[in-house]
Amino acid sequence: MYVGPIRTGKFGTASTTPFHVIRCGTCGVDRLDPMPVQAAVYESGTYRMQVDGGADAGTYYANHDAELAERLALIGSGSIRGKVIADVGCGAGTFLDLVKGLASRTIGVEPQKDFAAVLTGNGHNHYAYAAALKKAAPASVDLAFSFQVIEHVVDPLEFLSDIRACLKPNGALHLTTPNRNDILMAIGPESYRRFFYRIAHPWYFDADSLRELAGRAGLKVVKMMTPHVYDLSNLAVWLRDERPSGLEALPELDGPANAAFRSQIVASGRGDRIYAVLEQTP
pLDDT in tens, 249-278: 999 998 999 999 999 999 999 999 999 999
Q: Choose among 130, 120, 111, 139: nearest CA to 44.
A: 111
Supply the pLDDT for residue 120: 98
Supply the pLDDT for residue 40: 84
Kindly state the percentage of the chain with pLDDT values over 70.
Answer: 100
Supply the pLDDT for residue 10: 86
Is the bond into 34 cis (omega within 30 degrees of 0)?
Answer: yes
**What amino acid occupies position 273?**
R
The DSSP symbol for 7 reads B
Q: Is the dihedral of CA 105, 110, 113, 115 positive or negative?
A: negative
Full-model pTM: 0.95
CA atoms within a 13 Å half-sphere pointing along the CA-CB vector of 137: 17
Q: Is the dihedral of CA 95, 96, 99, 103 positive or negative?
A: positive
Q: What is the mean pLDDT of residues 196-211?
A: 96
Supply the pLDDT for residue 95: 97
Binned at pLDDT 50, 70 and 90, residue 50 comes out as confident
**What does the pLDDT look like over 240-249, one tens digit per residue?**
999 999 888 9
Neighbours of 95 (CB within 10 A): 22
Neighbours of 153 (CB within 10 A): 23
Q: In what order do the strands lie in the sheet with 203-204?
A: 2-4, 19-23, 30-33, 203-204
Q: What is the mean pLDDT of residues 93-110?
A: 97
Q: What is the mean pLDDT of residues 120-149?
A: 97
Supply the pLDDT for residue 78: 78
Neighbours of 237 (CB within 10 A): 19
- Helix boundaries (H) for 88-136: 94-99, 115-121, 130-136
Supply the pLDDT for residue 224: 97
CA atoms within a 13 Å half-sphere pointing along the CA-CB vector of 220: 6
